[in-house]
Chain A
Amino acid sequence: MWRKPTDAKTNPQASNLPEPAATTPKPVQNTPTNVSAVPAMPAPIAQSSTPTTTPSVSSSVPTASAPISSAPRTTTASVIGAGLKIQGEITGDSDLVIEGEAHGRIRLVNGRVTVAPKGRVNADIEAVEISVEGFVQGGLKASDKVRLGPASQVQGSVLTPRIAIEDGARLRGKVEMIRAGEVANPAAKAPVVSAPVSSAAKVADAAASTLTTEADRLRATAARGSGD
């Protein structure tokens, strides 16, 4: 389940923000602070995007990448903790840190997604900034920046205006540059064509190319490989 840290993350623009006059109460149903049990998570999961002003600027969220967004964000990061496994679609405006497992689709058009070293994601990720330290099988689409840490493993295409790849990172897929902010608008985004697919699969994929995600294609490829 979702775990929201009690402290807000460091916001580089915090000094430019007006001091909050009062703390907005956080929605209780979406921000449990303690996760001791692992109840079944219904899918798809849609996270409500309720911006909350934060009284504190101390950080408890591991974000390895440098602050890059010019727009001030007032949301705190949600955390999929280690040992949690979530399947479905995750949408919203909040930042997200994945320390556990996530399958499906992640779309945070105004948020930042961080895949922690132990995090495993089998999903297409779409966000302003994506930072990967763990494992991702699926396409990465960032409207600002993608960062692949030294121990990261990514299988899928990367679509971003800026990319930072540290030595030791593993990437199996295509890298393509786009204009900043392009991904945030789905109607204007460029189609991703070349996932690693076999020629036989290309014909099959053509019929459902508009519906098939990068992760689906990769899973199909893996399934064909194990089935042959």
Chain B
Amino acid sequence: MSWTAKPRLNPTAPSLKPTGTAKPGPKAVEANGNVRISNGLKEFLWLIDGSGQGRILDLGAVFQSTVMFFIERGFRLSTEDMMRSWKEFLTTEEENMRNMKVGDESARVSQGMLAGKFLDSNLQYPEDNFHGVLAWDLFDYLDAELLPRVMERLYTVLRPGGAILASFHSKTPERFNRYKIVDGQNIELIPSATLAVHSRIFQNREILDIFGKFRSSKTFVGRDQVREALFLK
């Protein structure tokens, strides 16, 4: 695997890659301070462009604009809000443990067991199913036991040649954001209630290790120092 990360000093520079999408008016973008350029998205779209009626998996919250963005381009979109599912799962498990009798040994569960149980009922898709996966603001928040299992599952459900777009913070984020696509090169950050504690800051080498099975990669560093990582199966 080759690491071809090249931080872009000028994230507003136009991409050479064709996006095939209309750019928003500059006023529209300027009017909303939460809109940021996503070079990772541009590259992601370019990669999945040839997949025809490809299937996309969005692991964030569902938004009308994101759904319509892909639907209008002929893609089939599946959504699964993984952070929320994980939080609800933990809440349920905690409640179950509270209701158990004192001294009940079955109440003792490791983080690994929890992660396995969570994935028994989440991210359940056929193998080689998706042409692309969107995972903004997700992996930073997953605990150390769950993360590698999620990566393994995502590798399984991606088709060969499929792409996964993820983002990683370079510093502890001030707040938890959701992301929705504005157009082919802009995304909007939606401040949201914190669903999980930011787990850790990943170094580039660690990100490579997380995506160990993927064959190639690219990263883009935004003005806000958020790294977008694009990996291919």
Chain A residues in contact with chain B, CB under 8 A?
A: 148, 163-167, 169-177, 194, 196-199, 201-202, 221-222, 224-226, 228
Q: Is the interface of A mostly helix, strand, loop or mixed?
A: mixed
Q: List 30 A-B contacts (CB under 8 A).
A: A148-B62, A163-B68, A163-B71, A165-B62, A165-B64, A167-B190, A169-B62, A170-B62, A172-B79, A172-B81, A173-B78, A173-B80, A175-B67, A175-B71, A175-B79, A176-B71, A194-B55, A194-B78, A194-B126, A196-B78, A196-B124, A197-B125, A197-B126, A198-B124, A198-B125, A199-B127, A202-B126, A225-B122, A226-B121, A228-B120
Q: Are B126 and A224 in contact (CB under 8 A)?
A: no
- Residue from the list A164, A173, A176 in contact with B79, Cβ < 8 A: A173
In the complex formed, the residue of A with least CB distance to B156 is A199
Are A224 and B120 in contact, CB atoms less than 8 angstroms apart?
yes
Taking CB atoms and an 8 Å cut-off, the chain B residues in 116-168 that contact chain A are: 117, 120-122, 124-127, 129, 156
Give chain B residues whose Cβ lies under 8 Å from the Cβ of A194.
55, 76, 78, 125-126, 129
What residue of chain A has the Cβ atom nearest to residue B80's Cβ?
A172
Q: Is the CB of A228 within 8 A of B117?
A: yes
- Closest A-chain residue to B129, C-beta based? A194
How many residues of B are in contact with the other chain, CB < 8 A? 27
Closest 9 CB pairs of A and B: A225-B121, A165-B64, A225-B120, A171-B62, A174-B78, A228-B120, A196-B124, A198-B124, A175-B77
Instruction: Choose from A170, A174, A221, A225 the contact partner of B84 (Cβ within 8 Å).
Output: A170
Q: In the complex, A197 Cα to B126 Cα: how many Å?
A: 6
Tell me if B3 is interfacial: C-beta within 8 Å of chain A: no
Taking CB atoms, residues of chain A closer than 8 Å to B68 are 163
B63 in the interface, Cβ–Cβ < 8 Å? yes
How far is B60's CA from A171's CA once the two chains are assembled, in angstroms?
10
For window 80-124 of chain B, which residues contact chain A by CB distance below 8 Å? Answer: 80-81, 84-85, 117, 120-122, 124
